[in-house]
Amino acid sequence: MRSTVNLHVNGEPVQAEIEHRQLLVDFLRDDLGLTGTHTGCDTSQCGACVVHVDDVAVKSCSVLAVQMNDCNVTTIEGLATDALHPVQQAFTDEHGLQCGFCTPGMIMTTVDILKRHPDGIDAATARKELEGNLCRCTGYENIVKAVMTAAGGHDHV
């Protein structure tokens, strides 16, 4: 079964015939070629596929593409156009990435975290908020630092 879906991806209108069972992550990667969003597990545990749907962080492996009718989807490719987003900048400044595979999901999650903590965040809360994103390289320490730096704080512990 297929349905026509109209949505916006990174600000651009997209109309597509989508097989009902297709996951959003597969639609983004396979149909739109937006390969910055990654698939790291089969069980919605790793968070490598996090995108924003109507400005809220969503694991794109846990929603169907047909559910996106009338939605605004933002992927890592659409987070910033010319200059880097402050969260992207913080990840590189704090060496919050190594192999880079979890990074797009980490960055999209962090943008969402900071939106929900506009008055700043402590490191313990940042660690809890990152629970849904797995990284095998960094031991999270520098990712937490990146979250804190992007939040404008210097609480590194």
Applying CB under 8 A, which residues contact another protein? 19, 21-22, 26, 29-30, 33-43, 45-46, 48, 75-77, 79-80, 84, 88, 91-93, 95, 97-104, 107, 123, 126-128, 130-131, 133-144, 156-157
**Which is closer to another protein, CB of 7 or CB of 32?**
32
**Which is closer to another protein, CB of 1 or CB of 70?**
1
Least Cα distance to 57 among 20, 106, 124 occurs for 106
**Which is closer to another protein, CB of 41 or CB of 56?**
41
Strand bridging mode 2-9 / 72-74: parallel
Residue 67, exposed/middle/buried by CB under 10 A (0-12, 13-18, 19+)? Answer: middle
Q: Residues 31, 94: contact at Cβ < 8 Å? A: no
**Which is closer to another protein, CB of 33 or CB of 70?**
33
CB of 147 to another protein, least distance (A): 9
Q: At what angle do helices 86-93 and 103-116 cross, to 10 degrees?
A: 120
Bridge partners of 17, per DSSP, are 4
CB of 57 to another protein, least distance (A): 15
CB of 127 to another protein, least distance (A): 4
